[in-house]
Chains A and B, each alone.
Chain A
């Protein structure tokens, strides 16, 4: 089965600024692939190149077998794209928005109305078919855009931060839709997100992009396993001796110990094993263990591990300097 997306050494420079640097990856069919990265990491530039909105400085990509440089219209016909900002027209109704996009893709007139109704029903907006989009909530509008992106029956969907700005209920609704799309319509889905829980729940594989480069790419579980000291044992003690912290450093599988106010944080490669030896040590030294808990590694830890903790307040050069549609 050929890959749905093949990104081949793609680079994008804006003057001296390298927004995307020699990124390559493949996405097999029917996979939900997540693209994570801090602000300004190059995710949107990468997506814009893959969706033919920007031309790469070097390298290329094949989307559904169509090359983005030699066959951009083939790519556009294969893809359904839900950009980061809302692109549905607020002065038109839901049906009109869908209909105009269907016409742009050449959907035959005899199929159009039934298809639009079917898609609106699938995103639970059929009752709002004739309502102006400007009356829609953010969640409704995002669902409409997903339905609109499906109007030409694409094989691959790109969703750029599909749940940004949505309330928790709407987010969950969008997640369900994405899973349903993959399972029932056999779509390949590439999405970018800032929400680690979203990536963890939805994505089969995740690529972390930072400073325009691919920092990591694997399944969520393997990515978590790849972070050293994958679990944290947090405990509070009563009657601890002065050298207690030093003694804790010798616990089984412990990779580091730090004090945080009343509690002690022990990073460990095997949380339960460390807790067992901790309890033995406390009993032997007559130290009272007031509280103990094990935190498993989350994607947040993975993200911070690969991208660092520094705030990224640099201007969004890639998005704004060249784009006439900058927002």
Chain B
């Protein structure tokens, strides 16, 4: 392999890349918008979910229940409690979307309370929205637990208590999403700067000019993947730094941490551009890469755990995540940005990404045609 030929084609691609800021901007804008919009949209806690409160008992105990709900309204503001006189009217409003849940204190609540006859509250909820439903259920259950707690605890309490220790400080969703957005930026650059540009150059006949020179197949593939990797690496580093500042990742500027981030982004870029090259190596129609862009994005981004943990996936989706380079990119970047791990937290991801790239490059070399 003659490196001067590889360098010549890399130089060509880089000159074009710097001459056309549109590619760099388009690679950065979408992931940044995604980071900001999704980061803040998904990251917030549920606030002011309207709950109808129906007191059919009108007792001291029912007022105690109401006071606890009012406490949630005033404190964490998860719920906004509205008084209703009639349970059927409250349920009608629930069905019509005016309230998200109905708390009903039945007329025999206080009697059963004092008779120790399993007093019940009825929580009727709109479960079409799982996120709001879960948050309201959690609030209602917390309040029920508080109602059941004895007013005075014994000196030697035999109840088991769970003390929760969080290893890391509270992590906002935008920080959690940063790794996914960076991977997305690398993917977009690989797709546009590697896939689409490659097919367009083929279609415009530019590659015919190179095929007429003494350049070898390995040199051509190395140059195209090398240039694409460099472009995706630059986009990935820019996104990590800008996104890190937006999300407020602490300690980003430690040289060793930056070095590890650069290493992960470099191998992630190589893995995605080599995957893209393998997909595109026999494609001639410039419309094809544009058409499959969305499908590839969906297949690679969402199963990777970028927005939702892979542990929640069904088994078939987990298999996609296992062979998805996004998965290892996101895992390694999250370890570095959220947990500040060292090499021990990323080396396995890096090795897998290098192995993945090797397989993709071997496939590309086998399929790449040196002739027309």
Query: Which residue of the partner chain A has the closest CB to B216?
Result: A73
Given contacts A87-B212, A106-B2, 14 further A-B contacts (CB under 8 A): A53-B211, A53-B371, A77-B214, A83-B205, A83-B212, A87-B209, A89-B206, A91-B20, A100-B8, A100-B11, A105-B214, A325-B202, A325-B372, A327-B205
Q: What residues of A have a CB within 8 angstroms of the CB of B139 in the complex? A: none
8 Å CB contact of B372 from A53, A86, A92, A104 = A53
- Interface residue tally for chain A (C-beta within 8 Å): 32
CA distance A86 to B207 in the complex (A): 11
Tell whether B215 is near chain A: CB-to-CB under 8 Å.
yes
Determine if A79 is an interface residue (Cβ-Cβ < 8 Å): yes
Chain A, residue nearest B281 (CB): A324
Complex formed: what's the CA distance from A57 to B16 in Å?
38
Is A171 an interface position by the 8 A CB rule? Answer: no
Q: Which residues of B contact A73 (CB under 8 A)?
A: 214, 216
By the criterion CB–CB under 8 Å, are A53 and B8 in contact? no
**B interface residues with partner A (beta carbon < 8 Å):** 2, 4-5, 7-9, 11-12, 15-16, 19-20, 202-216, 282, 284, 369, 371-372
Binary flags per residue of A312-327, CB closer than 8 Å to B gives 1, else 0: 0000000000111111
CB distance from A239 to the nearest CB of B (A): 62
Point out the residues of chain B lying under 8 angstroms from A88, CB to CB.
206, 209
B205 touches A86 (CB 8 A): yes
Contact flag A55-B371 (CB < 8 Å), given A73-B214, A105-B214, A325-B202: yes
Are the CB atoms of B19 and A91 closer together than 8 Å?
A: yes
Question: Which one of B19, B213, B282, B284 contacts A104 once the chains associate, using CB atoms below 8 Å?
Answer: B213
Which residues does chain A contribute within 8 Å of B20, judged by CB atoms? 91
In this complex, the member of A52, A53, A76, A325 whose beta carbon has the largest number of chain B beta carbons within 10 angstroms is: A325
A81 close to B (CB within 8 Å): yes
Residues of chain B within 8 A (CB-CB) of A106 are 2, 4-5, 214
Say whether, besides A83-B212, A91-B16, A325 and B207 are in contact (CB < 8 Å): yes
| In-complex Cβ contact of B214 among A48, A86, A104, A326 (8 A) | A104
Find the B residue at minimum CB distance from A149.
B212
Say whether A85 faces chain B, with CB atoms less than 8 Å apart.
Answer: yes
Cα separation A48 to B372 with both chains bound (whole Å) = 8
The interface residues of chain B lying within 8 Å CB-to-CB of A323 are 372
Residues of A contacting B7 in the complex (Cβ-Cβ under 8 angstroms)? 103
The answer to whether B205 touches A85, judged by C-beta atoms less than 8 angstroms apart, is: yes
- Assembly CA distance A281 to B78 (angstroms): 117
Chain A nearest Cβ from B255, distance in angstroms: 35
Name the interface residues of A82-103: CB closer than 8 Å to any CB of B: 83, 85-89, 91-92, 96, 100-101, 103
Partner of B15, one of A81, A86, A96, A103: A96
Expressed in whole angstroms, the minimum distance between the Cβ of B22 and any Cβ of chain A is: 11
Task: Please give, as numbers and ranges, the residues of chain B lying within 8 Å of A77 by CB-CB distance.
Answer: 214
| Alpha-carbon separation in the docked complex, A197 to B209 (Å) | 28
Shortest distance from the beta carbon of A32 to any chain B beta carbon, whole Å: 20
A326 to B284, CA, bound (A): 8
Residues of B within 8 A of A79 (CB): 212
| B-side contacts of A289, CB under 8 Å | none
Q: From A55, A103, A325, give the contact of B205 (CB < 8 A).
A: A325
Chain B positions within 8 Å of A217 at CB level: none
Contacts of B4 in A (CB 8 A): 103, 106
Q: Which residues of A contact B205 (CB under 8 A)?
A: 83, 85-87, 325, 327
Chain B residues contacting A86 (CB-CB under 8 Å) are 205
A85: nearest chain-B partner, CB-CB = B205
Considering the chains assembled together, what is the distance between the CA atoms of A52 and B212 in angstroms? 8
Contacts of B11 in A (CB 8 A): 100, 103
Q: Top 10 nearest A-B pairs by Cβ distance?
A: A87-B209, A103-B8, A85-B205, A104-B213, A324-B284, A76-B214, A323-B372, A81-B212, A53-B372, A91-B16
Q: Is the CB of A104 within 8 A of B8?
A: yes
| CA gap between A88 and B203 in the complex, in Å | 13
The docked-state distance in angstroms from the alpha carbon of A96 to that of B203 is 21
Contact status A104-B5, CB under 8 Å: yes
User: Shortest CB–CB separation between residue B112 and chain A, in angstroms?
Assistant: 80
Smallest CB–CB gap between B226 and chain A, Å? 15
Of A83, A87, A327, chain B has the most CB atoms within 10 Å of the CB of: A87
Complex CA–CA separation, A83 to B210 (angstroms): 11
Q: Whose C-beta in chain B lies nearest to the C-beta of A88? A: B209
Taking CB atoms, residues of chain B closer than 8 Å to A53 are 208, 211-212, 371-372
Q: Does A51 contact B (CB under 8 A)?
A: yes
A87 to B369, CA, bound (A): 18
* Contacting residues, chain A, for B204 (C-beta < 8 A): 85
Known A55-B371, A87-B208, A103-B4; judge A92-B15 contact (CB<8 A).
Answer: yes
List of B residues within 8 angstroms of A83 by Cβ: 205, 208-209, 212
Decide: B208 and A101 in contact? CB cutoff 8 A: no
* In the complex, chain A residues whose CB is within 8 Å of the CB of B213: 76, 101, 104-105
Q: Does A54 contact B (CB under 8 A)?
A: yes
| Cα of A79 to Cα of B371 in the assembled complex, Å | 16
In the assembled complex, 19 residue pairs joining A and B whose CB atoms fall closer than 8 Å, in A order, are: A52-B212, A53-B208, A53-B371, A54-B371, A79-B212, A81-B212, A85-B205, A87-B209, A91-B15, A100-B12, A103-B11, A104-B213, A104-B214, A105-B213, A105-B214, A106-B214, A322-B372, A325-B284, A327-B205
